[in-house]
């Protein structure tokens, strides 16, 4: 959108355009939060913690040699 197009719009049209873009951004943030926290299933945060616990367990096992 060029500067001429923006200056030609009324304040109401500009506000509607801004709100539309903010709504799409909020939807994307909500999807990321759902992905991170999980929605009835283990989310990415839980899966990452499990992966680190397994990694630490393997590292300890290799370090001690048992």
The tens digit of pLDDT for each residue in 1-53 reads 666 666 677 888 888 888 888 888 888 888 887 877 777 778 888 888 899 99
Looking at residue 60, what is its pLDDT? 92
Query: CA 47, 51, 53: angle at the middle one, nearest 5?
Result: 115
User: What is the C-alpha separation between 27 and 3, in angstroms, rounded?
Assistant: 28
Strands (E), the chain: none
Name 36's Cβ contacts closer than 8 Å, sequence gap at least 6: 43, 44, 45
Name 42's Cβ contacts closer than 8 Å, sequence gap at least 6: 50
The structural domains of the chain, with segments of one domain joined by +, span: 3-64
| Residue carrying structure tokens 């990694």 | 55
| pTM listed for this prediction | 0.49
């Amino acid at each position: 959108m060029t500067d001429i197009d923006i200056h030609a719009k009324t304040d109401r049209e500009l506000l509607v355009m801004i709100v539309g873009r903010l709504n799409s951004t909020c939807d994307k943030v909500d999807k990321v939060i759902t992905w991170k926290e999980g929605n009835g299933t283990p989310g990415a945060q839980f899966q990452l913690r499990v992966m680190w616990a397994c990694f630490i367990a393997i590292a300890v096992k290799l370090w001690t040699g048992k």
